[in-house]
Amino acid sequence: MRRERLSVVGSEQVGPYTLLRVQRRGLEPGIPGQFFMLEAPGRLLPRPMSLCLAPTGELAFLIDPIGPGTRALCALEAGDAVTILGPLGNGFDLEVERPLLVGGGIGIAPLPYLSETLGQPPAVLGFRSDWHAQAGALLPHAEVCVEPKLVTELIPTGHHVLACGPEPMLEAVRELAADAQLAWEAPMACGYGACFGCAVEIDGELKRLCVEGPVLCAA
């Protein structure tokens, strides 16, 4: 893990979300599904974000402005500096046959980089509104649905599922595909195993998602 102060290259609106692009400098993009801790300007604790895209020399994060920290991140402008730690945690296992990417809402964040790495496998995405579904443009070949239709209704059989989205979606995917790889989310103060805040139940025990995950096997 490495921590650097990076310059913001720019940010753009994608529906309700913001795609924040920063200089990469010495940080490695890591494996899709790994995450970074982004300093949230004016706040005490950084915020965990998975890498959305890795353009040459840059890192890009898709951020949903849901609280004071994420709003401060979305307000960053070109030339501002932001301190970033990473990559952290365990990403997706990329050695799979017939991958299918499944994303819901802001959970699509790690999928564009994952898609690029896997050579654009089929993908299905679900959003709560047409406005949110504008983020589907980040995965141009994906099949997109909007509620009340659920993304789990679009999952064909015979694929190895790699998914990220809200917990109910991940639970539903788990029911459909026991061998799926699921990227989970939990409140985190540190991202590197120090705070024990991101505990989730794994194999009947509470374990740190930042150390064991965030990508876990559904089974």
Partner 1 sequence: MLLNASGCLDALVAPDVARSLDAFVTKTVTPLPRDGNAPVRIAETDVGMLNSIGLANPGIDRFLTRSLPQLEKLRVSIWVSVGGFETTDYAELCSRLDDHAAVSAIELNVSCPNVEAPAESASQIVAGARLATRKPLWAKLSPAVPDIADVARAAQAAGADGLSLVNTIRGLKLDAQTLRPVLAPGHGGLSGPALKPIALAAVATCYRATRMPIVGMGGIRTGLDALEFVAAGAQHIAVGTTLFADPDAPARIRAELHALASARGWTSYEDAYGAAHEELLSLRTT
Count of chain residues binding partner 1 (CB under 8 A): 27
Which of 23/70 has CB closer to partner 1? 70
Give the span between the Cα atoms of 179 and 35, in whole angstroms: 22
Instruction: State which of residues 30, 69, 87, 105 lies at the interface with partner 1 (CB under 8 A).
Output: 69
Which of 94/200 has CB closer to partner 1? 200
Instruction: State which of residues 26, 44, 157, 203 lies at the interface with partner 1 (CB under 8 A).
Output: 44
Is 39 a binder of partner 1 (CB under 8 A)? yes
Region 114-173 residues binding partner 1, contact defined as CB under 8 A = none
ω before 16 within 30° of 0 (cis)?
no
SS3 content of the chain, % helix, strand, coil (to 5): 20, 35, 45
- C-alpha dist (Å) from residue 9 to 6, 27, 193: 9, 15, 30
Amino acid at 9: V
Is 187 a binder of partner 1 (CB under 8 A)? yes
Is 81 a binder of partner 1 (CB under 8 A)? no
Is 45 a binder of partner 1 (CB under 8 A)? yes
Which of 86/105 has CB closer to partner 1? 86
Is 9 a binder of partner 1 (CB under 8 A)? no
- C-alpha dist (Å) from residue 151 to 12, 20, 100, 142, 154: 26, 26, 12, 11, 5
29 Ramachandran zone, left/alpha/beta (phi>0; psi -120 to 50): alpha
Which of 5/98 has CB closer to partner 1? 5
Amino acid at 37: M
Give the span between the Cα atoms of 21 and 112, in whole angstroms: 14
Minimum CB–partner distance for residue 66 and partner 1 (Å)? 11
b/e 41-68 (16+ beta carbons within 10 angstroms → b): beeebbbbbbbbbbeeebbbbbbbeeee
Region 190-209 residues binding partner 1, contact defined as CB under 8 A = 190, 192-200, 205-206
Instruction: State which of residues 25, 43, 128, 174 lies at the interface with partner 1 (CB under 8 A).
Output: 43
* Binding stretches for partner 1 (CB under 8 A): 1, 3, 39, 43-46, 69, 83, 85, 186-190, 192-200, 205-206, 211
